[in-house]
Amino acid sequence: MTIELPPSLGVRGNEEIAKDIISRIWGKRGVFTCTIANTLTSTIPGVSEAGDTPELTLYTGPADAEYLVMGKVTCMKGIPINPGGIPTPATLTKAALDLSKMPFYIINGGSKIIPNIPCIEVGGKCGEKVTTGHTLTNVQQSFEYGKILGAQLAATHDFVVVSESCAGGTTTALAVLLAMGTIRENLVSSSSPKNPKQLKWDIVMEGLKNAGIEIGDLADDPLKAMECVGDPMMPVNLGIALGAAKTVPVIFGGGTQMAPIMAAVAKMDPSVLGNIMQGTTRWLLSDPNSNMVKIMENISDRIPMVYINMDYSKSPYEGLQAYEWGFIKEGVGCGGSSVAAVISSAGKIDCDMILDRVHELYKVIMQIE
């Protein structure tokens, strides 16, 4: 039986597959993972806004992870907040996890700073700048460990959510998508409404040149593309997805950063298509400065985009309203965890409940009475 989607969820792309997957996991129990990772790409001035300074972008992933697990951050002062008081999307992720009580785990895909919490280790290390053309060293181990973990999680849960917190990750995503020839123009997103598209393009072109590859050269070797110009969250999430999607549905929580992994899945094991979908936000899909839909059209017509209909224009706080103005939009699996919360609760959790919880969390963070 196929269920009707609640108003809290929307679909772009293949609605038939979306409804089929959602029907199979409606009211079922999933597990959420967030893989934190870095490349030094985010320290190139202007590339990433996920941090007050280029250097601080390296703390964003571990801080997000600590916030999800402990509700506070100890690896740096405060939680990741943009100067305008715009909080990390981990606030939305945490709200969804709090409400759904979904088990969740932090995976250290290769973070420069190790958070002060227990993490699942997969042998990954912080990567170099994408400009080097050789960002990663330990791709095969991370990928294999991901497959083992994916199978392990799938054996004991009804679905698996993969996600990321990796500053500068849209740039490495662009690089891998170009190396694979999935796209030939800059369609990736940014956490800023002023997407520095030309800067990212120039950096990525330098990386491809230094790797000695042209656009599309690595169409048949996604792991090589990740090794040359990717980031360390990619091979482990690719492994988890391939390891899990053989037996249970996998939700890719995130925006354009997850696109190269979905492209790799479609290339390496097309048999799992029909069992994977993206879980993202309305904000990401309506971003005028990126084009998730067009990227996905180039990957497969069998990976639907399911989004959570969160609308922060209803919020009394400017820091949250900013999401409506093009800030943040995605990250830390905020879309995937929210979509999963609606699904696993069989629709009992909706956008209004999630927004209430985000407000509670935001007031604690901002010390609002």
Would you tell me which residues interact with a copy of itself (CB under 8 A)?
Answer: 29, 31, 69-70, 101-105, 107-108, 117-122, 145-146, 148-149, 152-153, 155-157
Q: Which is nearer to a copy of itself, 71 or 212 (CB)?
A: 71
Q: Which is nearer to a copy of itself, 29 or 267 (CB)?
A: 29
Nearest distance in Å: CB 34, a copy of itself: 13
Closest by CA to 212, choosing from 236, 232, 195, 228, is 228
The CA distances from residue 344 to 116, 202, 349, in Å, are 29, 42, 9
Nearest distance in Å: CB 223, a copy of itself: 18
Nearest distance in Å: CB 216, a copy of itself: 33
| Total Cβ atoms within 10 A of residue 85 | 14
Q: Which is nearer to a copy of itself, 124 or 133 (CB)?
A: 124
Q: Copy the structure tokens of residue 124.
A: 């990954």
* Angle of helix 222-229 versus helix 139-156 axis, rounded to 10: 120
| Total Cβ atoms within 10 A of residue 242 | 22
Q: Which is nearer to a copy of itself, 70 or 366 (CB)?
A: 70
DSSP 4: P
Whose tokens are 């969804």? That residue is 96
Whose tokens are 């050269």? That residue is 217
Separation of alpha carbons 263 and 274, rounded Å: 14
Separation of alpha carbons 43 and 252, rounded Å: 26
Q: Which is nearer to a copy of itself, 137 or 152 (CB)?
A: 152
Is-contact 292 190, C-beta < 8 A? no
Q: Which is nearer to a copy of itself, 123 or 255 (CB)?
A: 123
Q: Which is nearer to a copy of itself, 76 or 273 (CB)?
A: 76
Is-contact 169 254, C-beta < 8 A? no
DSSP 116: S
